[in-house]
């Protein structure tokens, strides 16, 4: 299956989750949906050469283990940008080494501020899960739309981090904060 067609199928499936009444509410856990989004975001983001992972594409998680557990189940069979993928806990700035995507769970922003500042300098894709997540400097923020999980994107934050977000991802975002 070609990459564009496989990507289209996945995005279609994820978008169906966002349409009320199309899937049973308990078909996928919130953590599973977020984990699926996190690994798929990588296909639509371009990192500067200096920030590209050498061996393993790593997604860091700051918060409860639900999303981390889902990523650990999902990632072993997946390659991201041609590299094996892994997930691990991030608790502080020193844990950012080798991380390409950082997910900060709901309720963790206060303790995450220094980590977010360091992540921006290192061209890490920061994904938050708060009502005003984009105001913290994150590039992508999860939003609850009724029973569904959607996301918003900040092109300004992507520019600050040296990241390029593909128009295909912007096209399925619930909201885009422009430059």
Please give the domain boundaries of the chain with CATH numbers for all domains.
3-177 (3.40.50)
pTM given for the model: 0.84
How far does the chain reach from its first CA to its final CA, in angstroms? Answer: 35
Are the CB atoms for 42 and 164 separated by under 8 Å? no
Residue keyed to tokens 């806990």: 89
More confident residue, 26 or 55: 55
User: Within 13 Å, how many C-alpha atoms sit on residue 57's CB side?
Assistant: 24
**Which of 46, 71, 77, 74 is CA-nearest to residue 168?**
46
35 vs 17: CA distance, rounded Å: 14
Which two three-digit tokens encode residue 122? 């290192």
Over 70: is that where the pLDDT of 143 sits? Answer: yes
Digit-coded pLDDT (tens) for 100-141: 999 999 999 889 999 999 999 999 999 999 988 999 999 999
């Amino acid at each position: 299956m070609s990459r564009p067609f496989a990507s289209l199928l996945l995005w279609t499936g994820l978008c169906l989750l966002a349409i009320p009444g199309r899937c049973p509410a308990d078909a996928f856990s919130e953590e599973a949906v977020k984990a699926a989004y996190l690994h798929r975001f990588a296909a639509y983001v371009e990192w500067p050469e200096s920030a590209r992972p050498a061996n393993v594409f790593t997604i860091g998680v700051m918060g409860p283990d639900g999303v981390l557990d889902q990523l650990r189940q999902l990632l072993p069979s997946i390659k991201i940008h041609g590299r094996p993928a892994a997930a691990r806990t991030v608790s502080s700035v020193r844990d950012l080494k080798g991380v390409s995507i950082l997910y900060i769970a709901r309720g963790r922003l206060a303790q995450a501020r220094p980590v977010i500042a360091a992540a921006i300098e290192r061209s890490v894709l920061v994904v938050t899960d708060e009502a005003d997540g984009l105001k913290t400097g994150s590039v992508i923020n999860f939003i609850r739309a009724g029973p569904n999980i959607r996301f918003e994107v900040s092109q300004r934050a992507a520019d600050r981090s040296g990241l390029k977000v593909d128009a295909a991802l912007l096209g399925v975002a619930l909201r885009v904060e422009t430059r």
